[in-house]
Structure formats: structure tokens, C-alpha cells
Chain A
Amino acid sequence: MFADFDQIMERLATKQLWDFAGGVHPDGHKGLSNQHQIADAGLPDYLYIPIKQHIGVDAELIVNVGDRVKSGQPLTESHNPFAVPVHASSSGEVIAIDEHIAAHPSGIKEATITIKVDGLDTQYNFDPVNNYNTRDKAEIVEAICKAGISGMGGAGFPTHLKSNNVKPIEFLIINGVECEPYITADDRLMREHAWQIRQGIDVLNYLLKPRQVLIAIEDNKPEAFETMSIACQQQDNYQVISIPTKYPAGGEKQLIQMLTSREVPSDGLPVDVGCLMYNVGTCYAVADAIIEGKPLTKRVVTLTGKALEKPQNFWVKIGTPVEHLLQLSGYNPDKQEYPRIIMGGPMMGFTLSSVKVPVIKTTNCLLAPEKNELAIVEDERACIRCSACADACPISLLPQQLYWYSTSKDYEVAQQYNLFDCIECGACAFVCPSEIPLVHYYRIAKAEIRQQKVEKEKSEKAKQRFEARKARLLKEKKEREEKHRLAAEARKRAMQSDDSGAKDKIAAALARAKAKKAGQATTEAPKESSGAPQAQSQQDKVAAAIARAKAKKAAQQSDNAASEKEQNTETQKTEDNPSQDDKKAKVAAAIARAKAKKAAQQSEDANEPKQENDQQASEESKPASEISEQDKKAKIAAAIARAKAKKAANKKANDE
């Protein structure tokens, strides 16, 4: 069905490419920010380093609050293949490990390590993998993992997982397309650090042994294409390819289709069609990790948009709050009618709800547009089924149908229309003449469907547990019955076989009872004489019991009141009586509550020997533990009374 290796190579040799369906051509606006060299963003006062910045699971914390950390020191450690560690991006003190607003459209808080930067930027000891091309692959993969590298193009898939590949690779594709408007981070990186990117590609080339390495760069970046071509010219199997500018050509699936005509199966991975793809930024980080031993602690971030005085690219420490960067590039929110900060590009990025959000490993751009630069959409209009969206969709979905079924919550049909193949590139919403936020509806539908699936699984589990429990209870009941039956039979047999024995037994039991009584009398005597605390605790008990009773009564009364009320409303529709009763019940409940409180207080008082005159005796005669035991009981009683009172009150409230 798809072209094989030789066909593809032939075609690439003639500089011909395939095409993907749909696509749009938004204005690039790349000139805003790609004119200047990448500047250093410096150190912020605080670094907020989220524990999870990739797709997968959290790694384990290995620092504590108060620890001093150096730049590049690991903060978490990976024991799970799906975990990627994070590192301190500068030296300082860990002042908090708690929840901080995350780099996510929801603005929900997530586990974050906060470092107070000391400004010295002391470096941690780095351990490069020397002569990597003589080393074992596993060693290199581990080094990549330890350096905390996850895909830097946007999705954040752990790089070591991708690199630990056993399937044959025909094409290693290096993605320097950067098709989103405004973003120029990869562009600048390729222009200025082509050599290091090339070194990163060499490492991956050694790891994966592809037949061919393709470096794809959109044709609106001629300088980057030039430098990358020079950097890669010595390698025979490297080919730098200029691809036509069309959004979303930088999407993994679209780029593979463009270069090889192959389609990644819907339920598969690029490796299933012999391709693997890395972002140029990831290659840079891999080179850092293997050759220098440096973990991923900084990245290039484009600061752009007409609301900024000085739009340009920065080297930013991971964890730097957005605030710091906006300050650097001269953002004045007072001048903006609708201040908006978009993390990522205008097509797939998300708006921030706070400027405290930190830059993370996948942050490639911060966009601060003016009001009219990226128009804020008014209310959407009705869909006119023009299917401009279908023409724009890079994966040949029918967005207008998906929209219809997503908004009408007909999720099953939406899935039949392949909702989950949507890559959320935004091309459909970009062209929609009715300005319908299509992608937004798909996201809602996807989230709902995922939740429904989770719930379905949960309900399945609950059902199993419920059934297991029912079976268990039944078994226990049967066992109990069996035991009773056996006991009864044994008794019967014993009675029948030996009458005198039974008499003896009775006599023995009587004797035992008498002996017990006597013993009690003797033990009780000194207790009574020692006196007050015992009495008091008994008093407590009594008080609590009374309170309990009252609470119960109150509850009953309110019950009655409620039933009366019901009757009343049904028959007479007068409301005087029940409300009076309600009042009574309320008062009673309040009294009960008060009494319960008093009882509790008393028992607490009893616990404080200094305040009571007759406490000394008790201290001598009674061990403290016993008092506390009594006290505890009283407390429990009080608590129960309290609870009952509360319940009564609640019930009444409900009845009302």
C-alpha cells in the first residue's frame, strides 16, 4: 500500500515529496522574533519545577525542603520506565515541595519543587558518556533517561523510551519543521547550534541504526536549512530536506506522510511504519546529555507577539516563571485591553491563567498578542455545513459531523467518526466561517468519553467486589448456621447421654457465680471508699446517658413532628402545629447538645486534678490510666450523643 524504502529514496533524490490531506496556510509572523540571537534569560528569584513535565508517571523525590541543590542536580529519580527525572536548573535552596499552578490550560495546581535561587549557579558534577560509540546501547539510553529528556516539540514523550527501540528503523526523521506560526525557537536553535544538533543526531543514529536520516525543515527557514545542510554534509546517510510551508506539516503523522507516503496506523506507532521522529531541540539535549553529561535544565523559548516590546528567543532555565520572561521582553499589561498570554503557538497553545506558571520542558513559545492581532472570538454562529473544516483536516475527518455528535453528546457515533484520531491541530477551527471552537468541543467530548470509560471500569470492579462480598456473606451465614446446628446437636446428644453430668455442670456454674459475686464485693469496697473520681465518672456516664436519651427523644420528636407535618400538610395544610413541634424538637436537640457538651467538659475537668478539691485521693488510689479510660468512655458517650443530636437536627432540616 505504501512506498518502500527504495521508492522513497528515489523520490527524495528528485526533491519530490508526497502531501498530506488538508492543511491551512496561516500567516507565519516568524519575522517578529527570528531576527535576534538567542539571549540568556538570566536567573529568576524562584524556580518552580513541576515533578512531572512529560507523558507518563511521576519520578520519586530525592530532595527535602531545606536542602541546598546545585545547578543540574537531580531532584527526582526514575525507577519506572515511564518516569523521567527533573533537575534543579540553578543552585539554591529547596524552600517548598507542594502544589503550584501548572503549565496546563486548566490552571490546576500540581506537585512542584520550589527553589530559592542563590544567584551563584554552582554546577553539579557532570558525568559524560565518553566515546559513546563504543558503549553499550543500554548505557546510552540510561544516560538519556537520567538527563531527564522528554520530547521537546510539544507532547513530551520520554525520549529514552522512544530510543530503547528494537524494531528495525528505516527512517530516523529529525523534525525541524516548526509549522506553528510565530514560533522560531527551533529555527534559531538550528541556525546557531547546528553542530550540536548534528552531534545529537549522531548519538541517535548510533542508537537506532536507521537506514536513512531525514532532517525536515520548512522552506520558510532558508538560513536554518543552510546551516543544517553544512553541519550534516559529511554524513552519507543524512539528508536535509526542505518541505513546503503548510500547517500542520510538523505534526508527527503529517511529516511521516509527507516524506514517506506512509501512514501511521490509527492504533499504532510511527515505528510500525519504520519511522522514528525526534525534535531538533531533543537532539540538542541528547548531545548535551551524552557528550557533556549535562541534564536538561534549559531550553529555547520564543517570546513573541505584538504586545511585547522586544520579541525574541531566550535560553530559559526550566522552572522560570513566565512573569520573569515577560518582564525581560517588556510586556505592559496596562496597555492591553484583553491581556492574554499563550503558552505554545496560536494554533495549539493554551492561555495561561496566571503569570506564575513555570516554563517546562515542552514550552517552546510564549505569545502575548494584542487584542486585534489574534481576534478574540465572539459567540459562535450556526454551522452552515460548508465543510471548509473537512477540507482543512489533515487526517480526513469530518469535523462538522464530529461537532454535531460531540455537542449533542452522542459520543458513540462521534467515536465511529474517529473522534480519537483527531490531533487537535486546530486547522478546522481556524477556517470555520462560523467561528465555532471545534477543537474545544472535541476536547470536551474526549474528556467525557475517557471519564466514562474510567467509570465503566470502576463500575465493573465494584460489581465484582459487590458480588464477592455477597458470596462471602452467604458463605459466612451458612457456616454460622452449620456451626449452630452442630452445637445444638452436640448439646442434644450430651443431654441425652449424661443427665447427671448436666446437673453437675449447673451446680458448678452456680458455684462459679457465687464466687464471682463475693470477689466483686471485695474489690468494690475499696473503690467506693476512695470515692469521688469514680463517682464523678459515673456521673459523667449518667449525664451522657441522659443526653443520649434526650437526643434520641429529640430525634423521635422531630420524627413525629415530621410525620405530623406530613399529615397536616396532607390533610389540613396548616403549618402552625408542626412548626411548633419543630421548635420543640429543636430546643430538645439543643438541650441535648448542651448536656452532651457539659458531660464532655466535666469529664475533661475531671482529668485536671488541680482544679478539683477531692482529686488528691483519686490520684493516690487510682492509676492515671484508669481515669483516662473512664474519661475516654465518657468522651465516646459524649461523641455519640453529639452525633445523635446532630443527626436529629439534620433529619429535621431535611424534613423541613
Chain B
Amino acid sequence: MTFTLIAILSFAALALIFGALLGFASIKFKVESDPLVDQIDNILPQTQCGQCGYPGCRPYAEAIANGDEINKCPPGGEATIKELADLMGVEAKPLDAAHGTEDVKKVAYIREAECIGCTKCIQACPVDAIIGAAKQMHTVIIDECTGCDLCVEPCPVDCIDMVPLAESSQNWKWDFNTVTVGDIPIRQL
């Protein structure tokens, strides 16, 4: 009887000691990290396009943190989904086509001759990338434009186009299929 008691007591004591040790360690060696929402938000492409169904990237980040699917972001595409999957510890899945498809990067372009200066696009732009005043022609700051498409819809005269970003020799991705190969019309001397 006393042996049993001793055994129970000693195990209880051990449990207490290790419990205290673990508790102490978890406080002492706590790893400081960004809150999950911030981490997710950092992965999202910040186009603020709302294609995911949320009004911006941060709301979607919050939704993901609360268990929403990670495959609703067409501008981010496969790469973003992969990163999110890594972060969230879930399986990467293909992009949900209901929210759009991954496309080449585009920027908005205002056909300035047709712009009537209604400022509607300015109000729609989530990143203030369109400048102009009422009754004045507007224009897009290409470097700031995220290609979110949100300005196209409100335009009453339909003068905004989404133009693919031109490839230059600086950002060419070594895809020889894109090279237009010419003939070699060399005259013989």
C-alpha cells in the first residue's frame, strides 16, 4: 500500500516538475512571430482587386486565418497558393476558377482622348494610382497600378483598357518560344 502511494506521489511530483519546466520554457523561449493574419497578408499580392470576394487583401487574409479556402486569389496564382499552403500547413490546390483565372500581368490604360473627366475611376482605384480632377483628363500611374480591373467597370465611356505589361530584355524569362525568328536573307557577293 505504501509502495503504491509512494509511486503515485513520486509520479505526481515528477509530473508537476516537468509541467512547471515546460510551462517555464514556453514563456521563456517564446518565439515572437507576426500574427497569422499579417503573415498571410504579406503573401497576398496586394492588388486589392476583390476577386476573392472580399473587399481587399487584408479582409481575405483574415478570412483565410478563419479557415477560408486559400485558392481564391487569381492575381497571385499558383505561386501564392503554394506559399499559403506552406504557411497554413495545408495541401496546395488549383486556383478556384469561380474567382477568375491567372492571367498575364496587366495595367490600366486610359484612352485619354475619350476620357470625360468624371473621376469615377479615381474613386474606384484602391491604391490611388489614377490622377486627374473633375472635367480634366485622367491618367494612370503605371508603376503604382496593380492591374486590379476595378476602374474598368465604373467608367461611363468605357475608355479604360487593361494592357499587358510589355516584356523587355530586362525581364525576359528565357522562353525561346516567344522569340520571333527571322529568315536570313543574305545576298551572296
A105 at the A/B interface (Cβ < 8 Å)?
yes
Chain A residue contacts of B175, Cβ below 8 A = 444
A326–B189 Cα gap in the complex (Å)?
A: 10
B32 at the A/B interface (Cβ < 8 Å)?
no
Q: A339-B184, A356-B182, A469-B127 are in contact. Are A459 and B44 (CB under 8 A)?
A: yes
Q: Are B182 and A444 in contact (CB under 8 A)?
A: no
A462 at the A/B interface (Cβ < 8 Å)?
yes
B161 at the A/B interface (Cβ < 8 Å)?
no
Chain A residue contacts of B174, Cβ below 8 A = 105-106, 440, 443-444, 447
Interface stretch (choices B1-9, B10-18, B19-27, B163-171): B163-171
Q: Are B158 and A643 in contact (CB under 8 A)?
A: yes
Q: Are B184 and A462 in contact (CB under 8 A)?
A: no
Chain A residue contacts of B185, Cβ below 8 A = 355
Q: Are B156 and A460 in contact (CB under 8 A)?
A: no
Against B, the Cβ 8 Å flags (1 = close, 0 = not) of A449-476 are: 0111011001111110110110000000
Against A, the Cβ 8 Å flags (1 = close, 0 = not) of B87-131 are: 000000000000000000000000000101000000000111100
Q: Are B116 and A333 in contact (CB under 8 A)?
A: no
B33 at the A/B interface (Cβ < 8 Å)?
no
Query: How close is B118's CB to chain A, nearest CB, in angstroms?
Result: 10
A459–B178 Cα gap in the complex (Å)?
A: 27
Q: Are A333 and B186 in contact (CB under 8 A)?
A: yes
A323 at the A/B interface (Cβ < 8 Å)?
yes
Q: A459-B44, A640-B156 are in contact. Are A108 and B167 (CB under 8 A)?
A: yes
Q: Which residue of A lies closest to B146 (CB)?
A: A462
Give how many A residues have a beta carbon under 8 Å from the other chain's beta carbons.
48
Q: Are A108 and B186 in contact (CB under 8 A)?
A: no
Chain A residue contacts of B46, Cβ below 8 A = 458-460, 462-463, 466
Query: How close is B12's CB to chain A, nearest CB, in angstroms?
Result: 47
Out of A443, A450, A646, name the residue touching B171 (CB < 8 Å): A450
Chain A residue contacts of B30, Cβ below 8 A = none
A102 at the A/B interface (Cβ < 8 Å)?
yes
B31 at the A/B interface (Cβ < 8 Å)?
no
Q: Are B178 and A106 in contact (CB under 8 A)?
A: yes
A104 at the A/B interface (Cβ < 8 Å)?
yes
B188 at the A/B interface (Cβ < 8 Å)?
yes
Query: How close is B117's CB to chain A, nearest CB, in angstroms?
Result: 11
A466–B171 Cα gap in the complex (Å)?
A: 26
Q: A447-B172, A469-B128, A643-B158 are in contact. Are A462 and B48 (CB under 8 A)?
A: yes
Q: A353-B179, A462-B47, A463-B46 are in contact. Are A636 and B157 (CB under 8 A)?
A: yes
Out of B79, B114, B129, name the residue touching A452 (CB < 8 Å): B79
Query: How close is A632's CB to chain B, nearest CB, in angstroms?
Result: 9
Against B, the Cβ 8 Å flags (1 = close, 0 = not) of A631-646 are: 0000010011011001
A107 at the A/B interface (Cβ < 8 Å)?
yes
Chain A residue contacts of B116, Cβ below 8 A = 636, 639
Which of B79, B129, B158, B178 is packed against the most chain A CB atoms within 10 Å? B158
A559 at the A/B interface (Cβ < 8 Å)?
no
Which of B79, B116, B179 is packed against the most chain A CB atoms within 10 Å? B179
Out of A108, A110, A465, A640, name the residue touching B144 (CB < 8 Å): A465
Query: How close is A618's CB to chain B, nearest CB, in angstroms?
Result: 25
B180 at the A/B interface (Cβ < 8 Å)?
yes
A131–B173 Cα gap in the complex (Å)?
A: 48
Query: How close is A562's CB to chain B, nearest CB, in angstroms?
Result: 16
A448–B79 Cα gap in the complex (Å)?
A: 11
Q: Are B45 and A455 in contact (CB under 8 A)?
A: yes
A80 at the A/B interface (Cβ < 8 Å)?
no
A580 at the A/B interface (Cβ < 8 Å)?
no
A440–B176 Cα gap in the complex (Å)?
A: 10
Query: How close is B93's CB to chain A, nearest CB, in angstroms?
Result: 16
Q: Are A104 and B169 in contact (CB under 8 A)?
A: yes
B70 at the A/B interface (Cβ < 8 Å)?
no
Query: How close is A337's CB to chain B, nearest CB, in angstroms?
Result: 13
Q: Which residue of B lies closest to A650 (CB)?
A: B158
Chain A residue contacts of B155, Cβ below 8 A = 643
Chain B residue contacts of A327, Cβ below 8 A = 186-189
A354 at the A/B interface (Cβ < 8 Å)?
yes
Q: Are A326 and B186 in contact (CB under 8 A)?
A: yes
What is the interface of chain A mostly: helix, strand, loop, or mixed?
A: helix
Q: Are B129 and A108 in contact (CB under 8 A)?
A: no
B62 at the A/B interface (Cβ < 8 Å)?
no
Q: Are A110 and B127 in contact (CB under 8 A)?
A: no
A323–B189 Cα gap in the complex (Å)?
A: 12
B151 at the A/B interface (Cβ < 8 Å)?
no
Q: Are B126 and A469 in contact (CB under 8 A)?
A: yes
Which of A327, A452, A462, A639 is packed against the most chain B CB atoms within 10 Å? A462
A145–B23 Cα gap in the complex (Å)?
A: 66
Q: Are A468 and B169 in contact (CB under 8 A)?
A: no
A330 at the A/B interface (Cβ < 8 Å)?
yes
Q: A339-B184, A452-B79 are in contact. Are A465 and B189 (CB under 8 A)?
A: no
Q: Which residue of A lies closest to B141 (CB)?
A: A465
Chain B residue contacts of A448, Cβ below 8 A = 173
A447–B168 Cα gap in the complex (Å)?
A: 12
A616 at the A/B interface (Cβ < 8 Å)?
no
B41 at the A/B interface (Cβ < 8 Å)?
yes
A331 at the A/B interface (Cβ < 8 Å)?
yes
Q: Are A465 and B182 in contact (CB under 8 A)?
A: no
Q: Which residue of B lies closest to A473 (CB)?
A: B123
Q: Which residue of A lies closest to B83 (CB)?
A: A412
A116 at the A/B interface (Cβ < 8 Å)?
no
A332 at the A/B interface (Cβ < 8 Å)?
yes
Q: Are A102 and B169 in contact (CB under 8 A)?
A: yes
Q: Are A353 and B127 in contact (CB under 8 A)?
A: no
Out of B56, B157, B171, name the residue touching A640 (CB < 8 Å): B157
Q: Are B186 and A331 in contact (CB under 8 A)?
A: yes
A463–B59 Cα gap in the complex (Å)?
A: 12
Q: Which residue of A lies closest to B167 (CB)?
A: A108
A459–B144 Cα gap in the complex (Å)?
A: 9
Chain B residue contacts of A463, Cβ below 8 A = 41, 46, 57
Query: How close is A418's CB to chain B, nearest CB, in angstroms?
Result: 20
A647 at the A/B interface (Cβ < 8 Å)?
yes
Q: Are A462 and B144 in contact (CB under 8 A)?
A: yes
Query: How close is A291's CB to chain B, nearest CB, in angstroms?
Result: 34
Q: Are B169 and A465 in contact (CB under 8 A)?
A: no
Which of B45, B46, B156 is packed against the most chain A CB atoms within 10 Å? B46
A643–B57 Cα gap in the complex (Å)?
A: 30
Q: Which residues of A contact B (CB under 8 A)?
A: 102, 104-108, 110, 323, 326-328, 330-333, 339, 341, 353-356, 440, 443-444, 447-448, 450-452, 454-455, 458-463, 465-466, 468-469, 636, 639-640, 642-643, 646-647
5 new A-B contacts at CB < 8 Å, known A104-B172, A327-B188, A642-B158: A330-B189, A440-B174, A459-B146, A462-B144, A465-B144
Q: Which residues of B contact A (CB under 8 A)?
A: 41, 44-48, 56-57, 79, 114, 116, 126-129, 144, 146, 155-158, 167-169, 171-176, 178-182, 184-189
**Could you jot down 21 A-B contacts, CB within 8 Å?**
A105-B172, A105-B179, A106-B172, A108-B169, A110-B169, A327-B188, A332-B188, A353-B180, A444-B175, A447-B171, A448-B173, A455-B45, A459-B146, A461-B144, A462-B146, A465-B129, A469-B128, A636-B116, A643-B155, A643-B157, A647-B158
Closest 7 CB pairs of A and B: A459-B46, A354-B182, A643-B158, A106-B172, A465-B127, A462-B46, A104-B169
